[in-house]
Amino acid sequence: MMRIAVAILFILLSFTLSGQGIPDWLDEDFRRMKFPANVYLTGFVYRVVEKGITAETEQAKLDAQAELVKQVRLMLRSKTQSQSIAQSIDGKYSERESFESRASTEANAEIIGMKTETYFDQKSKLVYAFAYANRYELIGYYKANLSVNLGQIESFVKTAQDLEANREKAKARQQLEMAKPLFSKVRYAQDLLTALDGNATPNDLQQPKTEQLYNTATQLLAKLAQGVYIFVESNENLFGQKVDIVANKVKAELAVNGCSFTDNERADFILRITVTTRSSDMLDGLVFCYADAAIELYDVHKQKTVYSDEIAQKGGSNSKDKAGRRAMNDVATKIAERLKKWVQ
């Protein structure tokens, strides 16, 4: 009697263990009941094993994940087609870029919290894959992600504003460039939340804050693109002759660097240049002269001199006048190079 009981127990245990390897999610009715569409996003595929179980299993996982992402894309497309969101930039309205135009960079992004399971049926030589993600977990993640990215953008914009106020335009532009890709992430999170949560309001999506930061960044970039305005005061003496050799060359070289030149009232900086020339020596028929330059860069906004220097530059030619002009041209190049980092 004991043997019969043991045999029955062994048979039952063997049957149970053999069933443990077959996942319930293979059954469509189970998937529909256990992973309802109002709670889960899912993707289910199966493939015939032809190239090897490892390769086919990995491809099945990717296909199942792609099916899930496809649902997200369809949801997003439906939302973006049903509503047109405009943004105001300097009083003009332009259409928000659609989800489709961002699909190449955003739609293939990993869906956070997505899980994927696989099963290989030895008898049918089929490998199955099932991907699923809880939409409420996604909503929680992307709401937090939205806040984090907006916080970073706000920090970049604030730093850029401070740098611009201190006339450090190059550094201010760098801050705004770092903010740019975060706006794409914010838009994507907002689109995804709109698709996942039909009750999401503009405030839930932090749209007013987003538009305010976007407009501020756009306007500041436009302002920074205008460059720096400089007023130049020059006093140049070429052996008793009044010239503007240094001032003209400095203006030309700084203009390439994005600077503009204006009257005293609109200037960001006042550049004062004083240059005199003096003879040096002669060698093998060549005359050598020096151009002695004193420069002062005054920041109108800070109301103080931010840079000053004295530079002596030697030049040679077949006459004193030509040697002096060459020395002046060369000293102008040095002045421009030293000023560039101060006027960006």
Judge whether 107 and 69 are in contact, CB under 8 Å: yes
Of 210, 225, 240, at which residue does a domain stop? 225
80-90 mean pLDDT: 45
Question: Directed axis angle between helix 207-225 and helix 169-196, to 10°?
Answer: 150
| Global confidence as pTM | 0.56
More confident residue, 6 or 232: 232
In a domain, 6, yes or no: no
Judge if 147 and 103 occupy the same domain. no
User: Structurally, how many domains does the chain consist of?
Assistant: 3
Same-domain check for residues 207 and 141: yes
- Mean pLDDT within 230-246: 94
pLDDT band at 247 (very low <50, low <70, confident <90, very high): very high
**pLDDT band (50, 70, 90) for residue 255:** confident
Residues 28 and 123 in one domain: yes
Tell whether 120 and 174 lie within a shared domain.
no
Same domain, 220 and 292: no
Q: How confident is the model at residue 31 (pLDDT cuts 50, 70, 90)?
A: very high
- The per-residue pLDDT for 16 is 39
Whole-number Å distance between alpha carbons of 211 and 89: 9
Q: 187 and 264 share a domain?
A: no
Last residue of a domain, one of 90, 108, 134: 134
Residue 98 pLDDT class (50, 70, 90 cuts): very low
By the 8 A CB rule, do 160 and 177 touch? no
Domain with 192 in it: 137-225
Choosing from 225, 253, 276, the residue where a domain stops is: 225
User: What SS3 string covers the chain?
Assistant: CHHHHHHHHHHHHHHHHHHHCCCHHHCHHHHHHHCCCCCEEEEEEEEECCCCHHHHHHHHHHHHHHHHHHHHHHHHHHHHHHCCCEEEECCEEEECCCHHHHHHHHCCCCCCCCEEEEEEECCCCEEEEEEEEEHHHHHHHHHHHHHHHHHHHHHHHHHHHHHHHCCCHHHHHHHHHHHHHHHHHHHHHHHHHHHHCCCCCCCCCCHHHHHHHHHHHHHHHHHHHCCCEEEEEEEEEECCEEECHHHHHHHHHHHHCCCEECCCCCCCEEEEEEEEEEEEEEECCEEEEEEEEEEEEEECCCCEEEEEEEEEEEEEECCHHHHHHHHHHHHHHHHHHHHHHHCC
Do 336 and 242 lie in one domain? The reply is yes
In a domain, 254, yes or no: yes
Q: Is residue 304 part of a domain?
A: yes
- What pLDDT, in 10s, does the model give residues 73-84? 777 776 655 544
Question: Does a structural domain hold residue 11?
Answer: no
